[in-house]
A and B are shown apart, each in its own frame.
Chain A
Amino acid sequence: MRLDFVKIFIDSTALLFRELVGPTADVPSITMKPSPVAGREVMAIIGLAGEAQGRVIFDMDLFTAVQLAGHMLGEPSPGMTPLVRSSIAELASMAIGRAISQINDNGTRLRMSPPTVITGSNLVSYDQCFETLVAPINTVYGEVRVNITIQDLD
């Protein structure tokens, strides 16, 4: 696990959330979990490839997703509309895009996939071989967990 990259992903996400949706509490702790990662009702997934590989999953309750999107859109949303899904995808994409930029500027080639948002109940992400670091970020609209797996290719 590239812990240096994990720190960049978490810091980038917390900073972006502060900029876009207001204050966040400090990340209380980061925990290591074996796969699979159990998610909540909304998951935004971004793949990582290049000189390292892995993926980042943001998972949150439906209420939190709808409220976060409403804040970004500047108007309340009635539920999980296509625009809400897109807002959550963009939030994840901006957070990881920034982190990727920092990692590349530090000399490691890493690229990201466009985000995929999945909604449902009792979502589980199956990952065949990697352990996952989980960082909870508390926003005014509820907790967003950032689940990160990243390994060097060798």
Chain B
Amino acid sequence: MHVTDEGIPVAKSPLTCLIVDDSAFMRFHLKRMMGSFDNVLASEAANGNEALREYGRLRPDFVLMDIVMPGMEGVETVKRICDVDPMARVIMISSVSYKEKVAEAMAAGAKCFIAKPVTTEELRKAIENVLCSPSADSGGVI
């Protein structure tokens, strides 16, 4: 809740996030981390196709995306999301973090890359980076 210049209390609209990971553990873990942040609403998708559908439906403020998934992998999913919405803010979170793969993910449109296992602080920093910088800019590798 915050107060306008006129002194009217209004509910701060929550940030929305889409968590894309085939691992139920990672979705649980990331959602719990989101719960420790102020005012973030998290939705989930378990694969690339579901992610495309949910992204179109929700248009979240940012996306957390795994790379190794059955079917459509994370990099391809990012590319398809960014084809539809070039301003999409996608943070890759993966244990597969070799230079070529990171470069591939960033070229596909990801704004930031975090290597698993991710800490709450790393996640907070990545989210701040992608939300505070203009959408076209990269938040880098954490």
Contact = CB atoms under 8 A, between A and B. Distances in A.
Is B one of A's binding partners?
Answer: yes
Interface string B66-77: 001110000000
Contacts of A73: 25, 28-29
A123 B44 CA distance: 33
Interface of A is mostly: helix
B36 to A, nearest CB: 12
Interface stretch (B1-9, B56-64, B93-101, B133-141): B93-101
Nearest to B96: A97
A87 interface: yes
A101 to B, nearest CB: 4
Interface residues of B, number: 22
B22, B25, B70, B97 — most chain A CB neighbours (10 Å): B25
Interface in A79-105: 82-83, 86-87, 89-90, 93-98, 100-102, 104-105
Interface in A87-136: 87, 89-90, 93-98, 100-102, 104-105, 111-114
B23 A105 contact: no
Interface string B82-125: 00000000000011111111000000000000011100000000
Contacts of B70: 114
A20 B25 CA distance: 14
Interface string B28-55: 1100100000000000000000000000
Nearest to A112: B68
B23 A100 contact: no
A83 to B, nearest CB: 6
B94 A86 contact: no
Interface of B: 22-26, 28-29, 32, 68-70, 94-101, 115-117
20 contacts: A72-B29, A73-B29, A83-B24, A83-B25, A87-B25, A90-B25, A93-B23, A93-B68, A94-B95, A94-B117, A97-B68, A97-B94, A97-B96, A98-B115, A100-B98, A101-B95, A101-B98, A101-B115, A104-B99, A112-B96
